[in-house]
Amino acid sequence: MKKIELNHPIFQKVKEAAAILQLDTYVVGGFVRDQILGRESKDIDFVCVGSGIELAHQVAALISPKLKVNFFKNYGTAQFVWEGWELEFVGARKESYRKDSRNPLVEEGTLSDDQNRRDFTVNALAASVNEEDFGQVIDPFTGLEDLEKGILQTPLNPDITFSDDPLRMLRAIRFATQLNFTIADDTFEAIKRNAHRIEIISQERITTELNKIILAKTPSLGFKLLDEVGLLPFIFKELSDLKGVDYVKKQGHKDNFYHTLQVLDNLSQNTDDLWLRWSAILHDIGKPKSKRFEEGNGWTFHGHEVIGERMTKTIFKRMRMPLNQELKYVQKLVRMHLRPIPIARDEISDSAIRRLLFDAGDDIDDLMLLCEADITSKNEEKVKRILKNFRAVRVKLKEIEEKDHIRNFEPPVSGELIMETFGLKPCREVGAIKNQIKEAILEGEIINNIEEAKVLMLKLGKDLGLKTK
């Protein structure tokens, strides 16, 4: 029989608590799977044959009388965090579902009952935390074999598994993406048959799984699977709409769905930032609505970045994602993702660099990462040439920023100073003077300092017929 190492002190505490309460107790699911795969995990689920809430309180008491336990009587679960480990306790249970609901009827059960309700064989593994067989793995299905082969399949009939809780279909895609596993044929076909059932799942639960796919090492694997099984149109129609190539007079455009996934993978090699990765997913989302065929120019997507910025807010709202700084950040990168491209193609002017720095502000480095990821040509020489140009842009950005301090700058002459100098109240002339000073700095006509800005302010006021006080 296979055993796993349960070396952390928490397992000794749980073993001791289980002995005091005389409860058969096991660590189950993802932690056991990850231990066998050699993946790091600090999220542990314990199942006992009895009260999980009582066990959690006993474990917490053995650790420290000050340790707080959060528990939920209706669900029979309890949880607490200790030294960065997230621990959850539940009593073994069996579940049955009604066809019209995703909420199961739950009753007390055995360890076997609990394993039967698990989503996949590799997540149905358990390891004993009891004195007599500490660390021994209980594998009622083919979990160990499936782990070795890299296969995901349900313990029981997949149609019943997915119809009972359709979120398991998304979890299958997520685990296949994270673990680089293959989904077994019968499980794969069952997801296809039940894809429409995902509509009864709350948006929050769907978005949680989607974000985990996005944060995987190679997120494109997940989105390709979502497309293949037919889930993508139900959960992210705008991305699904990018798929396909239209032809007019034998001229076609690139498939923007696969281009977007390549950009996402490229970017994911350089960042784990969820919202920066979202900007890759959405950077071309406006292309279907802006697509036109023009004689002499072929396919065009004029203004897709502006359309995409508007669509980003709609998508964030529907997916129950943050509508504050995260939304503004992604909208900004979607809107600006084309800006560095002409600068990299042409001879780099200081003026263009200043304007890019001013508009991008603190997000300039992320914008450059996105733009570099957006180079997906199959022509390797072309890719190398463009990346070389982008490196030159980065050097110039650094030089200009060190010299002119343009990032997030405010014109050194304030509206208050202009009004005080010319004896004005708030009016159009004040804004005009301030804006012309800003433009002069961005064009490099004056240095970004108070002395030169004041000189220009007086000249501009004189040109407008204003007199100093």
The one-letter amino acid code at 152 reads L
**Residue 316 corresponds to which tokens in the numbers above?**
């964030």
3-state secondary structure 398-459: HHHHHHHCCCCCCCCCCHHHHHHHHCCCCCHHHHHHHHHHHHHHHCCCCCCCHHHHHHHHHH
Q: Which of 316, 314, 312, 360 is nearest to 336 (CA)?
A: 360
Residue 58: count of CB within 10 angstroms of its CB: 21
Q: Give long-range contacts, CB 8 A cutoff, 24+ apart: 80-86.
A: 80/56, 82/10, 84/42, 85/8, 85/10, 85/42, 85/43, 85/44, 86/42, 86/43, 86/44
**Phi and psi at residue 221, to the nearest 5°:** -55, -45
Instruction: Give φ, ψ of 335 to 5 degrees.
Output: -65, -35
Beta strand 70-72 with 77-82 is antiparallel
Q: What is the pLDDT of residues 186-240, one digit of tens each?
A: 999 999 999 999 999 999 999 999 999 999 999 999 999 999 999 999 999 999 9
pLDDT 10s digits, 169-191 = 999 999 999 999 999 999 999 99
Asked if 412 contacts 455 with a C-beta cutoff of 8 angstroms, the reply is no
H helices, E strands: number in the chain = 24, 15
Percentage, residues of the chain above pLDDT 70: 96
The answer to whether residues 292 and 300 touch, using CB atoms and an 8 Å cutoff, is: yes
Q: Which two tokens stand for residue 77?
A: 């679960």
If phi over 0 gives left and psi between -120 and 50 gives alpha, with beta otherwise, what is residue 50?
left
Of 283, 289, 191, 299, the C-alpha closest to 245 is 299
pLDDT of the residue at 448: 84
In this prediction the pTM is 0.85
Residue 45: the pLDDT is: 95
Chain centre distance of CA 449:
41
* pLDDT one digit per residue (tens) for the chain, 469 residues: 799 999 899 999 999 999 999 999 999 999 999 999 999 889 999 999 999 999 999 999 999 988 999 999 888 899 999 999 999 999 998 765 555 555 555 667 889 988 988 999 999 999 999 999 999 999 999 999 999 999 999 999 999 999 889 999 999 999 999 999 999 999 999 999 999 999 999 999 999 999 999 999 999 999 999 999 999 999 999 999 999 888 887 787 889 999 999 999 999 999 999 999 999 999 999 999 998 988 878 888 999 999 999 999 999 999 999 999 999 999 999 999 998 887 777 677 788 888 888 889 889 999 999 999 998 877 788 888 888 888 888 888 888 888 777 776 777 888 888 898 888 888 888 888 888 988 888 888 888 888 888 888 888 888 888 888 7
Q: What is the pLDDT of residue 106?
A: 62
The reported pLDDT for the residue numbered 279 is 98
Domains along the sequence of the chain with CATH: 9-146 (3.30.460.10), 150-235 (1.10.110.30), 415-463 (no CATH)
DSSP state of 193: H
Q: What is the mean pLDDT of the chain?
A: 91
Beta-strand runs (E) in 83-167: 85-91, 93-96, 105-108, 126-128, 137-138, 151-152
Token output for 229: 């099984």
**CA 266, CA 276: separation in Å to the nearest integer?**
12
Beta carbons of 52 and 46 less than 8 angstroms apart: yes
Quick check: 71 and 77 in contact, CB under 8 A? yes
